[in-house]
Amino acid sequence: NAGVTQTPKFRVLKTGQSMTLLCAQDMNHEYMYWYRQDPGMGLRLIHYSVGEGTTAKGEVPDGYNVSRLKKQNFLLGLESAAPSQTSVYFCASSSGPSSYEQYFGPGTRLTVT
Amino acid sequence: DAKTTQPTSMDCAEGRAANLPCNHSTISGNEYVYWYRQIHSQGPQYIIHGLKNNETNEMASLIITEDRKSSTLILPHATLRDTAVYYCIVRLRSEKLVFGKGTKLTVNP
């Protein structure tokens, strides 16, 4: 099993450009999450999904949109990138709300110039 | 308000036990203590969790004080690969994870 994978690993955008980050998991998990991590900070939750077709806002949702059309995939979109969105983005999944463990992907390093 | 307090950084000699403290004086009766770690630039990794009793798995031991106001993560024989940021998180099972800044553990040869 690959676990949680993220595409791409690195990306550089210009201000105003758009892009989509893809997260895929092969563990049949119901819950999926998108986090961002800035230098010297812990992870902050952007959006999450409790099942196929559902999404919900996390701690820092502004400037991002998400979609969960298939159970195994969770997409994070930036419609108009801003320098403040320069960060490392991590996707995670878990089997449910009471699951002890979240499984994290390797991260996507995004730079917006 | 932060639910946990951890030292910013710690050092440990390779082969020795690493004891990472966490203060959670406002913990409620149904909240669990979780530990995750993040090795440089990688995604966080679950280590262990507990409610009241001490817990041990293949990675670490978790010691929770009787009043549950603090806990200690123990890595019994630290290796260089254990160098990472360690996050202590307190939450209800149904709540989302909230990561603080954690403790930067450096294992020295």
Write out chain B in H/E/C secondary structure. CCCCECCCEEEEECCCCEEEEEECCCCCCCCEEEEEEECCCCCCEEEEEECCCCEECCCCEEEECCCCCEEEEEECCCCHHHCEEEEEEEECCCCCCCCCCCEEEEEEC
Phi-psi region of A46 (alpha: psi -120 to 50; beta: other; left: phi over 0): alpha
Backbone angles phi, psi at B88, to 5 degrees: -100, 125
Per-residue pLDDT, A49: 94
**Which residues does chain B have with pLDDT short of 70?**
1-2
Q: Which residues of A touch B41 (CB under 8 A)?
A: 88, 107
At A78, the pLDDT band (50, 70, 90 cuts) reads very high
Does A40 lie at the interface with B, CB-CB under 8 angstroms? yes
What's the rounded Cα separation, in Å, for the pair B40 and B42?
A: 6
CB nearest to A105's CB, from B43, B94, B100: B43
Lookup: tokens for A38: 């800035």
Per-residue pLDDT for A93 more than 50? yes
Does A50 lie at the interface with B, CB-CB under 8 angstroms? no
Question: Which chain B residue has the Cα nearest residue A101?
Answer: B46
Per-residue pLDDT for A70 more than 60? yes
Q: Which residues of chain B are at the A interface, by a Cβ-Cβ cutoff of 8 Å?
A: 32, 34, 41-46, 49, 87, 93-94, 96-102
CB nearest to A102's CB, from B41, B46, B101: B46
At A5, the pLDDT band (50, 70, 90 cuts) reads very high
Mutate to test the interface with B, among A100, A108, A109, A110 (most CBs of B within 10 A): A100
What's the rounded Cα separation, in Å, for the pair B32 and B42?
A: 24
